Amino acid sequence: MYTEKVMEEFSNPKNVGEIPDANAIGEVGNAVCGDIMKIYMKIENDVIVDVKFKTFGCGAAIATSSMATQMVIGKTVDEALKLTNKQVLDELGGLPPQKIHCSVLAEEAIAAALKNYFENEGREVPDSLKNKCTGNCESCHIHDAK
């Protein structure tokens, strides 16, 4: 079902944990749906110097969290804003169709953390971050695959 790369990320995920002095935190998904991703970032001068994650979810959710954090670490905020679920999928060698939403969740978790960064800094939130997942599955338009 999963690619070797997905299983590798799932078995040995990178960047698991919390950052006590994080200045950007994003959380998406909810327990009812069975997926929650929480991203912690330490951003200095618009550069992401550290990222950690905690995820409640399936194998794909854990693998995409691990991959997405590796893809943004060391990047500038502007670069990280351009991260898409497609890029995460490509790095993982793809996911089964019913698991694509996990890669969307990873993109959204990164975006939620970045949005939080702009808010914490008192800066205007970029338009591209305004229509992202709020973590409220009840009103969700992205995950309504039901």
Residues that bind other proteins (CB under 8 A): 2, 7, 10-11, 13, 16, 18, 27, 31-38, 54-62, 98-99, 143, 145-146
To the nearest whole angstrom, how small is the minimum distance from the Cβ of residue 82 to other proteins? 26
The Cα–Cα gap between 137 and 116 comes to: 19
Q: Which is nearer to other proteins, 59 or 94 (CB)?
A: 59
Q: Which residues are catalytic?
A: 33, 102
Q: Which is nearer to other proteins, 17 or 46 (CB)?
A: 17
Q: Which is nearer to other proteins, 54 or 75 (CB)?
A: 54
To the nearest whole angstrom, how small is the minimum distance from the Cβ of residue 93 to other proteins? 16
To the nearest whole angstrom, how small is the minimum distance from the Cβ of residue 59 to other proteins? 4
To the nearest whole angstrom, how small is the minimum distance from the Cβ of residue 76 to other proteins? 26
Q: Which is nearer to other proteins, 94 or 126 (CB)?
A: 94
The Cα–Cα gap between 106 and 37 comes to: 7
Q: What is the DSSP string of the chain?
A: ---HHHHHHHHS-SSBS--TT-SEEEEEEETTTTEEEEEEEEEETTEEEEEEEEEES-HHHHHHHHHHHHHHTT-BHHHHHT--HHHHHHHHT---GGGHHHHHHHHHHHHHHHHHHHHHHTPPPPGGGTTS--S-GGG-SSS---
